Chains A and B, each alone.
Chain A
Amino acid sequence: MTRGDALPLEQCWRLAQAWYGTPRTDPEWRRRTPQETRDLFAALGLTSEFWAI
């Protein structure tokens, strides 16, 4: 078991906004590609190996 990672609440809120802010009710909604996910994590400063996909 790894120790995991701990994000400050504010950073987790920004992650939640980026991750969930797009409407999944939209027929055109789709999951992010791996590269889009990497870019999203990087934009939030989540660049450690823990956040690698």
Chain B
Amino acid sequence: MIDSDVRRVVYETAMRCGRIPLAEEIASELSADRGEVVAAFGRLADAHILVLQRDRDEILMAIPFSAVPTPFLVESGGVRAYANCMWDALGIPAMLHADATIATSCHDCGTAATLVVEDEQVRDSGFVHFALPVKQWWNNVVFT
């Protein structure tokens, strides 16, 4: 039960506040021990639902949200959040079912880019590069 409770609190917080909660906050919310929450993190990471910070008992990614600043800043549904990649930057308004403005840059030339999602449509054009084939995504998902 705790795994789905932890997942719920992580995503409720991310979708409401734009940030990923710490283990201690989740433990407090669930009236659970921090150790139980961290153990749930491990199981959720093994299931490829969360990505954890190296050598820390905290979340790095609750996909599409990032716990650390990235080059993909999303404003959507009243929250300001970092995404892990361009696909995830689009994933945040898709998850929130809200309009969005995404501040990023061109991966090829570095030029600043602002993309708009409005009325469930993306208002800009361009290409999104996927470096690795799907079979390799979870070999090193941070690189992916």
Contact = CB atoms under 8 A, between A and B. Distances in A.
Contacts of B135: 52-53
A2 B139 CA distance: 14
Q: Name the prevailing secondary structure of the A interface residues.
A: mixed
A31 B49 contact: yes
Nearest to A12: B128
Nearest to A9: B126
Contacts of B124: 9
Interface range for B: 35 or more
Given A8-B125, A8-B127, A9-B126, A51 B133 contact: yes
Interface residues of A, number: 30
A9 B127 contact: yes
A8 B115 CA distance: 13
Nearest to B127: A6
Interface of A: 1-2, 4-10, 12-13, 15-17, 19-21, 23-27, 29, 31, 41, 49-53
Interface of B: 4, 7-8, 11-12, 15, 47-49, 64, 86-88, 90-95, 97, 115, 117, 120-122, 124-135
